């Protein structure tokens, strides 16, 4: 399990990625993405996940609870996802703090619902939610009654995901709100970049047409 490791952005490789783009618009967007990519160190991440785990414990203390995962998320087995990594971090931290551990870890496959339906809370974990789409998969794995027992736990979340998740679940525990490319101001900037690129393309086409027309005219005059 990755711990105590830091992998800051390699700006030399980032520049290579920018240069690899095949048109000016793609390069401008790539530059924009790199410029607005935020690196979170292990120390800062640890601070945030410990905070949300402490808040989670306050919510569930004295209750029966389990950690719940849909069988597959985005077509990938859960044990290869960051959600599972967060579960391992939770176990380590709860044991260290002597908090009550989950009564069960459920990987939903449509069977044995009578085993876990007795739990008062279903914990949905991840390290960060960007669009909120993945977190919505939890609600489709449970009926309405059980869905209301879900507690979403995230050290980091975007404004966009927060608004979406708050509409879908009663309880969400999160650490820091981060901006992403889905935020309005950044999307406006990308739209401006796209518009500039279209204008440049139109100008190039017009210039090419003018040159061709001049050549045709010259040929007619010969």
Tell me how far apart the alpha carbons of residues 189 and 33 are, in angstroms, rounded to a whole number.
Answer: 11
Instruction: Write the pLDDT tens digit of every residue in 151-210.
Output: 999 999 998 899 999 998 999 999 999 876 555 555 555 555 555 555 455 545 444 444
CA distance 104 to 218: 83
Which value, in Å, is the radius of gyration of the alpha carbons in the chain?
25
Looking at domain 42-176, its CATH architecture is 3-Layer(aba) Sandwich (3.40)
Candidates 152, 148, 161, 162; CA nearest to 52 is 152
Listed in order, the ranges of the chain carrying CATH 3.40.50.2020 are 42-176
Note the pLDDT tens digit of each residue in 127-155: 999 888 888 888 877 777 788 899 999 99
Query: Are 160 and 189 contacting, i.e. CB atoms less than 8 angstroms apart?
Result: no
What is the rounded CA–CA span in Å between residue 185 and residue 190? 9
Helix (H) or strand (E) holding 133: helix 133-139
């Amino acid at each position: 399990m990755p711990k105590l490791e830091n992998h800051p952005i390699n700006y030399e490789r980032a520049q290579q990625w920018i240069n690899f783009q095949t048109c000016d618009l793609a390069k401008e967007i790539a530059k924009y993405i790199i410029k607005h990519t935020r690196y979170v160190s292990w120390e800062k991440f640890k601070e945030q996940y410990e905070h949300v785990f402490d808040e989670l414990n306050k919510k569930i203390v004295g209750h029966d609870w389990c950690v719940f995962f849909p069988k597959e998320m985005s077509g990938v087995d859960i044990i290869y996802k960051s959600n599972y990594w967060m579960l391992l971090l939770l176990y380590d931290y709860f044991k260290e703090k002597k908090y009550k551990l989950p009564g069960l870890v459920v990987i939903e496959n449509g069977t044995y619902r009578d085993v876990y339906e007795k739990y008062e809370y279903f914990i949905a974990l991840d390290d960060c939610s960007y669009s909120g789409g993945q977190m919505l998969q939890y609600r489709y794995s449970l009926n309405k009654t059980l869905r209301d027992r879900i507690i979403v736990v995230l050290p980091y979340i975007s404004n966009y995901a927060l608004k979406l998740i708050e509409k879908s679940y009663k309880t969400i525990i999160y650490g820091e709100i981060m901006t992403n490319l889905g935020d309005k101001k950044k999307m406006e900037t990308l739209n401006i970049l796209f518009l500039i690129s279209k204008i440049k393309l139109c100008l190039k086409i017009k210039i090419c047409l003018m040159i061709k027309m001049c050549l045709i005219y010259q040929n007619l005059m010969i």
